[in-house]
Amino acid sequence: MEISHLQTFLLLAKNGSFSQTAALLHLTQPAVSQQIKALEEELGQVLFVRRNRSTHLTRLTPAGEVFLPYARQILLFLTESRERLGSYEPEKPSTLTLGAGSATITYRLPELLQAYKEQAPGDEVVIKAGSAQEITELILKGDVDFGFVNTIARTGNLRSFPLFREEILLVAPGNWEPPAFPLRLQDLADEVMILSSPLSGFRDFLNESFRRYRLTPRVLLELDDLEGIKEMVRIGLGVAFLPESALRSGFFAGRLKTCPLVEEFSCTTFLLSLPGKFWTRAMQGFARLLAEKYALPGLLADTQRPTPEGEGESFFGPPRNWQGGLER
């Protein structure tokens, strides 16, 4: 039994006119007649005495009179259930699933997740690491709620939001001498490099930059762990490119240094989401944190229910600029 058929039945019983019912429902009169006919066939009863020359209005038959209060009750219960579910919060914890590269997981997500856990301590968070392509595929399949990537695949099926941009720095041992001054990227062609894993989103960005500036790097090591890359550089095994956020801690004076290049590198991290995906309570809560921290009010437009005005607290202060005392 179609709910729309019940709604048509109640409206027709009230006004007694097929044409008026059709106009109110923005349907054709034959469509209204078909709905009533289908309902009568399902119930096995004639519900209306149709209007004719002797009958001014379409009116209910005795069977229609019997069915009328039940139809009202069915729609009433449906309305009440929708209202109840609209404000229902499940007792079990909600799960938030994120996809990101190693740099974002290590240096950006901890602050976000700490704020999220403060507002939703019972929720579970699942993090899946991967390259930009892998994370994009997980988003498209619906296996991940939000993805953080440094490069965006050519697909029109996802929404993307720029979150932040940070400088990419050349990091070298403290006693390293640049082969040229001013130093250009192509001057590093003979330098041994320690780079992030080929499966990481950050490596995707570096590879695009190397192609753009026609540099074929001499790669000694490829590591998933950016902290490990810093250690390999510190002991003199080679030079590396690292995001600025990776250099905020563990940067021992005199053991590592950053070297300026003529070319300026900066990398943007984007948030990916799947349009049409139902937003759980966990997704809405995390999205509000991102929208506040990175000034992205458009992100909340994807939520399935609006956020009440004034809801929530401030979890982040103004963006902090890193004032590192690094040798440049």
pLDDT in tens, 128-167: 988 888 899 999 999 999 999 988 766 667 888 999 999 9
Which carries the bigger pLDDT value, residue 271 or residue 50? 271
Listed range (203-212, 238-247, 297-306) with the worst mean pLDDT: 297-306
Question: What one-character DSSP code corresponds to residue 157?
Answer: T
Q: How confident is the model at residue 89 (pLDDT cuts 50, 70, 90)?
A: low
| Fold classified for 97-163+272-302 | D-Maltodextrin-Binding Protein; domain 2 (3.40.190)
Q: What is the predicted pLDDT for the residue at 94? A: 86
Cα(146)–Cα(127) distance, integer angstroms:
10
Average pLDDT over the chain, rounded to an integer = 84
| Res 205: pLDDT | 85
Select from 88, 142, 93 the least CA-distant residue to 116. Answer: 93
What is this structure's pTM?
0.62
The pLDDT of residue 112 is 94
Q: How confident is the model over 316-326, as a mean pLDDT?
A: 34
The per-residue pLDDT for 248 is 75
Which whole number is the average pLDDT over 70-93? 82
Helix pair angle (29-43, 18-25), 10° resolution: 110
* Mean pLDDT on 116-123: 91
Fold agreement between 3-86 and 97-163+272-302: no
Q: Does position 51 have pLDDT exceeding 50, yes or no?
A: yes
In percent, how much of the chain has pLDDT > 90?
A: 49
Q: What is the DSSP letter of 273?
A: E
Domain ranges of the chain: 3-86, 97-163+272-302, 164-267
Taking CA atoms, 313 is separated from 132, 200, 213, 230, 317, in Å, by: 32, 34, 45, 37, 11
Separation between Cα atoms, residue 18 and residue 298, nearest integer Å = 44
Residue 91's CB: how many other CB atoms inside 10 A?
A: 6
Give the pairing of strands 240-243 and 159-173: antiparallel
Mean pLDDT, rounded, for 223-241: 92
The values of phi and psi at residue 2, to 5°, are -85, 135
164-267 folds as: D-Maltodextrin-Binding Protein; domain 2 (3.40.190)
Between 305 and 24, the higher pLDDT residue: 24
Mean pLDDT of 278-286: 91
- Give me the pLDDT at residue 52, please: 66
CATH of 3-86, one of 3.30.413.10, 1.10.10.60, 1.10.10.10, 3.40.50.720: 1.10.10.10
Q: What is the pLDDT of residues 249-259, one digit of tens each?
A: 655 556 889 99
